[in-house]
Amino acid sequence: MTPGVRPLIAGNWKMHGLRADGLALARAVAKGGGGAELLVCPPFTLLREVATALEGCAAVAVGAQDCHAAAKGAHTGDVSAPMLRDAGARFVILGHSERRADHGEGDAAVLAKTEAAMAVGLVPIVCVGESEAERLAGEAEAVVTRQLDGSLPEGFAASGGVVAYEPVWAIGTGRTPTEADITAMHAAIRARLVARFGEAGAKLRILYGGSVKPANAAPILALENVDGALVGGASLVPADFLAIAAAAKAT
Ligand code: 13P
């Protein structure tokens, strides 16, 4: 944790949830709270409904999982940042490795989307992380640094932007880096943020993501420069998500 920074525990629901179970999940999460800020990121189809269900619930914010770089236009199937704002989102996840892999999103695209999000006051959560081959080749830090440099626009710090470090090989696998490796990578990210944004970079939240579960949350969240978690699978189970949030609060 970074002193004086409120942790953020974000649930990335990915492509999960029909109306009934999405609403039930949101309502269950709303019963939690405490020291950490909570965020749920449902699929587009549930965004408005979840936002409505959580209206008046200061403890839990709503976010989206992607946006287009343009505010509107002929982009069939895409959703813009103003549309997300209009639907009740306050945050948006950008550059998730699944988008980078499934949709060929490179750093320039992520940067453009991040600018679009910031332009309408959405807080961007920009994801970075190396593949297993890159880690084995000793290139993890270089890859993450390159992604940060290419994906974060000017003004990112002023927007309160969040960085999520998600090693690709730890997502959905039950495997996590060692505590030493997480600490080293988060320190490198912090150094880059400070170099780029000065004092403001020292207070930006850096989340860890990749197989965060109730059983490993407390030690991970206690690490220096780990200011919360981006949670996939465990965010679909209310008790697990709230246990992770409680671990953040306890540190
Ligand atoms: P898991 O928690 O399922 O590993 O997913 C992590 C993730 O990709 C969150 O964005």
Q: Name the domain count of the chain.
A: 1
153-186 tens-digit pLDDT:
999 999 999 999 999 999 999 999 999 999 999 9
**Which residue has its alpha carbon closest to ligand 1 atom 9?**
232
Say if 3 falls within a structural domain: no
Residue 136 covered by a domain: yes
Q: Is residue 173 part of a domain?
A: yes
Rounded to the nearest whole angstrom, what is the distance from the C-alpha of residue 93 to the centroid of ligand 1?
Answer: 12
**pLDDT at position 250:** 53
Cβ of 209 less than 6 Å from ligand 1: yes
Taking 80 as the threshold, does the pLDDT of residue 108 lie above it? Answer: yes
Average pLDDT rounded to a whole number, residues 128-146:
98
| Per-residue pLDDT reduced to its tens digit, 175-216 | 999 999 999 999 999 999 999 999 999 999 999 999 999 999
Name which residue sits closest to atom 5 of ligand 1, judged by CA: 232
Predicted TM-score (pTM) of the model is 0.97
Q: Which domain holds residue 208?
A: 8-250
Q: Does ligand 1 lie within 6 Å of residue 172's CB atom?
A: yes
Query: Measured from the CB, is residue 210 less than 6 Å from ligand 1?
Result: yes
Indicate if the pLDDT at residue 149 is higher than 70: yes
pLDDT band per the 50, 70, 90 thresholds, residue 251: low
Instruction: Report yes or no on 2 lying in a domain.
Output: no
Q: Which two tokens stand for residue 135?
A: 């880690």
Mean pLDDT (whole number) for 3-19: 96
CA-to-CA dists, residue 105 to 2, 25, 69, 101, angstroms: 30, 30, 12, 7
Q: How far is the CA of 124 from the centre of ligand 1 (A)?
A: 17
CA of 172 to the centre of ligand 1 (A): 6
Residue nearest to atom 1 of ligand 1 (CA): 232
Q: Picking from 54-58, 135-139, 162-166, which range would have the lowest pLDDT averaged per residue?
A: 54-58
Residues 216-241: tens digit of each pLDDT: 999 999 999 999 999 999 999 999 99
Active site residues: 96, 166
Mean pLDDT, the chain, integer: 96
CATH number at residue 173: 3.20.20.70
C-alpha span between 60 and 37 (Å, rounded): 7
Q: From CA 91, how far away is CA 66, in angstroms rounded?
A: 10
- Residue 35 has a pLDDT of 84
Which one, of 83, 170, 75, 73, lies nearest residue 120 by Cα?
83
Determine, yes or no, domain membership for 1.
no
